[in-house]
Amino acid sequence: MTATNTSSHHIVFLDRDSLIANVRPPAFAHSWKEYAHTRGGEQTVSRLQGATIAITNKVPLRAAELAQLPDLKMIAVAATGTDILDLAACRERGIVVTNIRDYARASVPEHTLALMLALRRQLVAYRADVEAGLWQASERFCLFGHPIRDLAGSRLGLLGYGALGKAVAQLGRAFGMHVIVHNRSPIEDDSVTQVTFDALLATSDVLSLHLPLTDKTRNIIGAPELARMQPTALLINTARGGLVDEAALAQALKNGVIAGAGFDVLSKEPPLPDNPLLTLRLPNFILTPHTAWASEAAMQKLADILIGNVEAFAQGTPTHVVASAA
């Protein structure tokens, strides 16, 4: 790719408030406009008129919007997932799409383990008991009532084994867990055991998801898959909303099909009021608002990579490319 005329670039950041970090100015001549958030649709098209580079975290850009943006040359996604974009339409229009990689290799795995620990140690249930005065009324020095299980000696199943899956595996081993993996393609890693999808479901004590959201992975965990898991198993999702059938999960938790679940993502974000997971008031379910990625260090690294991607594109040597001209 030849160098781009950097003096003509107009950059628009559609959802600046999604990133709490110092976003340094790109090191080339440009104009810059940022918005705290953008609703999408017509507002997105209006704000991107004349823009050659769009920055978006979660504001979607589909074929209908892209068709109205003839000047757009690059979309810099301020995240790893790119399902907010119509990648085929980007390729057809010659729009380069980049994403962010390996910025949350500590933040997301730590959050994943935190969910596992909280559920295995029954932290939510015991905190509720203390707040209800049950410990204060106990005849013993401690309060029982919720079974506590160790991570040590249990089996950690990973569905997907990219950078974050590998980091979770490392933490799991540090806690004494045996790691099994099901991945789309074979992996060369003697520290884990590769198993079939059926074996992963049937034998994992904790099943953690680390997949992108695609047509093939949407609802990859539904009612049939939940039924094949052990009744003592936990399901953890810090990857993408939509990987799990949320209605099926809610029913499985209510009926004791699995022991618990910890989620940081939902199929629609912000969630709609009728999302079945929002109304669960169960001590064995923890829902956090898509914050696994959002440590201060991770967000600053993301911001630095983001601007690096923009600068590389302007220099004619784009990096972290997800899509380019067809």
- Sort strands 234-237 and 31-34 into parallel, antiparallel or unpaired: unpaired
Q: For tokens 């680390």, name the residue.
A: 210
Spot the catalytic one: 65, 240, 246, 320. 240
Identify which of 269, 237, 236, 267 has the alpha carbon closest to the alpha carbon of residue 57: 269
Q: Which of 290, 296, 311, 320 is catalytic?
A: 290
For this structure, is 240 an active site residue?
A: yes
Q: Using an 8 Å Cβ cutoff, are 290 and 70 in contact? A: no
Contact 310, 75 (CB under 8 A): no
C-alpha to C-alpha distance for 55 and 149, rounded to whole angstroms: 44
Q: Which residue among the candidates 269, 296, 311, 320 is catalytic per the annotation?
A: 269
First to last CA, the chain: 14
Cα separation, 233 vs 221, whole angstroms: 14
Residues serving a catalytic function are 240, 269, 290
